[in-house]
Amino acid sequence: MESAILDHQLRPATEGASGYLTINLGALARNYEKLSAEVAPARAAAVVKADAYGLGVEHVSEALYGYGCRHFFVAQFFEALRLRPLLSGDAQVFVLNGLQPGNECACAEAGIIPVINSLEHLHQWAGEAERLKRRLPAVLQFDTGMSRLGVPPEERTAIATLLKTSGMIEILFIMSHLASADDADSEQNGDQLAEMNRVAEEFSEFDVCFANSGGIFLGDAYHGTLARPGIALYGGAPTVGQPNPMEPVVHLDVAVVQVRTVPADVRVGYSGTHVTQGVTRLATIAAGYADGLLRSLSGKGAVYCDGIRLPIVGRVSMDSITVDITALPEGRLTLGSLVEVLGPHQTLEDVARDARTISYEILTGLGNRYQRRYR
């Protein structure tokens, strides 16, 4: 279970934790307001799948609802079942992956809205509507060139026919997903926009939901009537290679477990992959790949103290990482001292670059062993 408490409720028992993940809900709300202003007069939804990108869907959804968000997207049906009771009745919860067979009745009873990705999905949902003898809401997703999820071009005619003949499905809007929106120069963006426009002409009676985080900054043509940002809400950069317009939401500090001084020619970590070149002061900190700090950070990444970069030496272990602290004044770090993993000196993108991955993987991988504090 997630150990999440508010700052003003911090109890003595939480002091001395091995790591502190601070989630700034004020920054989250300001990011939502910025994105909403960027897409206006369209509206901004919120993607809160994967437990709100690992930050806690209860706190995140409550904060976003308080700032006017009424459309919430998750990936899996069980996520929607968890989220739906947390929100007021005027909020809508959408399941991006649609429904597995057998979930239709529970979905309808809970007032959850599936995203229809195929003719088969639509038949399932229409069948449930017929059984209940009432119209059921849905969203239609079309594949515009990603080949991942969405109605393929060859099924469009059958989809349109079924909607007309059944009359039992209320389509709230149509949508698609941009595959390269984080690269503003990618030709795929324009190709997908052109295909989305063709779909919108074929299904002209419905509103359009198109832009993700990166798509919001591609311009008005991508916005439709509803945008659905994800990573940008949580402070991640929406566009690669450009200044990040979003405010950081997470700050991660990890505690020192041990400090030692070793001579030259000493092996550090599993398999002795790092060998000291001279007298070196080392600190071992209480987090590792089980806490989302990937093994690929070995010999590449770093932590910070007083603005000074402390490189990771040797391999990242499951529960610990060793860093070179020779650059710090002697005695600056001791048992229980905190070092910065994410914060003013190191962003999600910095850690992702060093780990040779993306910010999404770093953010969603932050484990449940950190003491979480919501501001």
List C-alpha distances in Å: 26 to 38, 58, 225, 292: 18, 15, 26, 24
Residues 268 and 284: beta-carbon distance below 8 Å: no
Half-sphere CA count of 8, side-chain side, radius 13 A: 1
Q: Which helix (H) or strand (E) holds 357?
A: none
Strands (E) located in 158-296: 169-175, 208-209, 226-227, 250-262, 267-268, 274-275, 280-285
Q: Which of 53, 50, 72, 54 is nearest to 62 (CA)?
A: 72
Q: Which of 58, 100, 66, 111 is nearest to 83 (CA)?
A: 58
H, E, C per residue of 202-230: HCCCCCEECCCHHHHCCCHHHCECEECCC
Q: Is 270 labeled as catalytic in the residue annotation?
A: yes
Largest CA distance in the chain: 80
Q: Is 360 labeled as catalytic in the residue annotation?
A: no
List C-alpha distances in Å: 134 to 125, 166, 168: 11, 11, 7
The 8-class DSSP code of residue 2 comes to -
The type of residue at 296 is: S
Q: Which residue is catalytic, options 34, 234, 270, 300? A: 270
Residues 6+ apart with CB under 8 A from 241: none
Q: Which residue is catalytic, options 32, 49, 234, 289? A: 49
Active site residues: 49, 270
